[in-house]
Amino acid sequence: MSDLENFRREIRTWLEANCPAEMREPVKDEDDVCWGGRNFHFKNAAQKAWLEVCAAKGYTVPDWPKPYGGAGFSAAEAKVWREELARLGARPPLSSFGIWMLGPALLKFGTEEQKVHYLGQIARGEIRWCQGYSEPGSGSDLVSLQTFGEDKGDHWVVNGQKIWTSYADKADWIFCLVRTDKTNKYQGISFLLFDMASPGVSTKPILLISGNSPFCETFFDNVSVPKNQIVGELNRGWDVAKYLLGHEREMISATGGGDRAGSLGASVSRAGALQDPVLRADLAQFDVDALAFSAMSEKFMDEVKVGRGHPAQPNMMKYAGTELNKRRLELVMAAGGSAALEWDSEASNGGSHARNWLRTKANSIEGGTSEVMLGVISKRILDLPGA
C-alpha cells in the first residue's frame, strides 16, 4: 500500500472518529458557517467542538506549515484531506478571509514574527478579518484609492473611507490598502493590518436586495496604526494586494462548485418530478459544465502547486465559476416555480432559494467584475490586439 493510501486511511479513520454527526449535514444557512473570531456565537456545541479538534491538529489550514498553525500537508495530502471531507459530507471546520486571502499573502510577504503571530490566530479561528480595498470611486480602478496614512514616526494616522467591506461590523481586524505616498500612484500604497476596535474606526451596514446586510461602509477617523503592522515594504502594498486578489478570485470561483456540490439535476428532481424537457436538458447541460469546471479547477490547482500556473488563471476561474453559480441559481428558481419566490415562509426556509438567487447577482461583481476579468483574459491570456 502506498504512503498516500496509508495516509488516506488514517485521515478517514480520524474523521469518522472526530467529526460530529451535526457537522456532516449540508450547510443550510449562514449560521451553519463557522467564521470564528472574538465575537462569534457558535450555533451549537458540535460546531465549536469540530473547530477545536481540527485546530488542535492543524486541520483548519492543512497545507500551511506546522509552526504557523497548519498540519504541514503536501499538495497531494491536502487533496486527500479535501476528498475525505467531501466523502463524509463534512463541513469545513472554519471559513475565513484569513484562511482564503490574508494567510497566503502573509506566507509570501510577512516577516517571520508576523507569520507566527497572525497565521496562528487565523488557524485557530481566534481573529476574524475583513478586507479594506474598495472605496467610493475606487472599485475596478482600485489603484486610485485615497484613504491616507500620515507618517507620525513610530505610527501612521489613517483617515478615509472604504465601502462594500464584507462583514466589517463582525470582523476583529482589517487588512487595508492605505495611500502612504500621494505622489506615486502604484508605488504609493501600503498594506496595513489593524484592529477594528481601534479608536476612530466605525462601520455602517448596507442593505442588499436579498434583505441581508453582509457588508458595510467603513470609516477611519485619525486611526493610529503602529509601524510594525505593515505587510511587505512601505509603498509596495500594491504587490501584496494583487497577490491576495489572485487568492480571492480563486476563493470566489469555488462558488462554481462542480461535482463537489453534487448533481444539480438530481437535487432539483428530488424536490418534484421534472416534466419540462427544456428544463431537463438545461439541467443536464449545467451538470456537464459544472463537472468540466471542477476538472479545470483541479488542473489549475495542480499547476499552481508545481509553479506552472499562469498568473492570470484566477481571473479565468473567477469568471467561469461565478457565471456558473449564477446559472445554477437561475435553474433552481426555474425548477422551483412560483414557490421558489416565497420570501419569509417556514416551508421555504426563510426564502432561501430566492435569497440565494439574488445573492448570486453579486458574484460577478465582488472580487473584480466579470467585465474586468474578461479584459484581463483578453490581454494576458489571449493576447488579443487592442486589449
Ligand X SMILES: Cc1cc2nc3c(=O)[nH]c(=O)nc-3n(C[C@H](O)[C@H](O)[C@H](O)COP(=O)(O)OP(=O)(O)OC[C@H]3O[C@@H](n4cnc5c(N)ncnc54)[C@H](O)[C@@H]3O)c2cc1C
Nearest to 45 by CA among 59, 34, 29: 34
Please count the residues of the chain. Answer: 387
Contact status, residue 143 vs residue 238, Cβ threshold 8 Å: yes
Quick one: which of 118, 191, 215, 286 contacts ligand X (CB under 6 A)?
215
**CA–CA distance, 310 with 91 (Å, rounded to integer):** 30
Closer CB to ligand X, 217 or 342, in the complex: 217
- SS3 state at 143: helix
**CA–CA distance, 193 with 131 (Å, rounded to integer):** 10
Q: Which three cell numbers stand for residue 317?
A: 476561474
Instruction: Give min distance, CB of 261 to ligand X, in A.
Output: 20
The set of catalytic residues is 248
The HSE-up count of residue 251 (CA atoms within 13 Å, CB side) is 19
Q: Which three cell numbers stand for residue 383?
A: 493576447
> Near ligand X by CB under 6 A, which window of 6-14, 65-73, 230-238, 359-367?
359-367
Closer CB to ligand X, 134 or 180, in the complex: 134
Contact status, residue 243 vs residue 105, Cβ threshold 8 Å: yes
Contact status, residue 108 vs residue 119, Cβ threshold 8 Å: no
- SS3 state at 263: coil
> Near ligand X by CB under 6 A, which window of 82-90, 324-332, 333-341, 362-370?
362-370
Closer CB to ligand X, 107 or 142, in the complex: 142
Which residues, including other chains, have CB under 8 Å from residue 79's CB and lie 6 or more apart? none
Quick one: which of 65, 139, 205, 350 contacts ligand X (CB under 6 A)?
139
Instruction: Give min distance, CB of 190 to ligand X, in A.
Output: 16
The pattern of x and - marking residues 141 through 180 that bind ligand X according to CB under 6 A reads -----------------------xxx--------------
Contact status, residue 286 vs residue 265, Cβ threshold 8 Å: yes
**CA–CA distance, 188 with 59 (Å, rounded to integer):** 38
- For the stretch 309-321, what's the b/e string if a residue is b when 16 or more beta carbons lie within 10 angstroms of its beta carbon? beebbbbbbbbbb
How many residues sit in the footprint of ligand X (CB under 6 A)?
A: 20
**CA–CA distance, 319 with 250 (Å, rounded to integer):** 10
> Near ligand X by CB under 6 A, which window of 99-107, 191-199, 227-235, 365-373?
365-373
Instruction: Give min distance, CB of 257 to ligand X, in A.
Output: 18
> Near ligand X by CB under 6 A, which window of 271-279, 302-310, 348-356, 366-374?
366-374
The HSE-up count of residue 92 (CA atoms within 13 Å, CB side) is 16
Q: Does 134 bind ligand X (CB under 6 A)?
A: yes
Closer CB to ligand X, 37 or 367, in the complex: 367
Q: Does 133 bind ligand X (CB under 6 A)?
A: yes
Closer CB to ligand X, 62 or 368, in the complex: 368
**Residue with nearest beta carbon to ligand X:** 139
CA 200, distance to chain mean position in Å, is: 27
Closer CB to ligand X, 83 or 239, in the complex: 239
Closer CB to ligand X, 81 or 133, in the complex: 133
Quick one: which of 198, 280, 366, 380 contacts ligand X (CB under 6 A)?
366
> Near ligand X by CB under 6 A, which window of 128-136, 187-195, 295-303, 322-330?
128-136
Interacting residue ranges for ligand X, rule: CB under 6 A: 130-134, 139-140, 164-166, 215, 362, 365-369, 371-372, 375
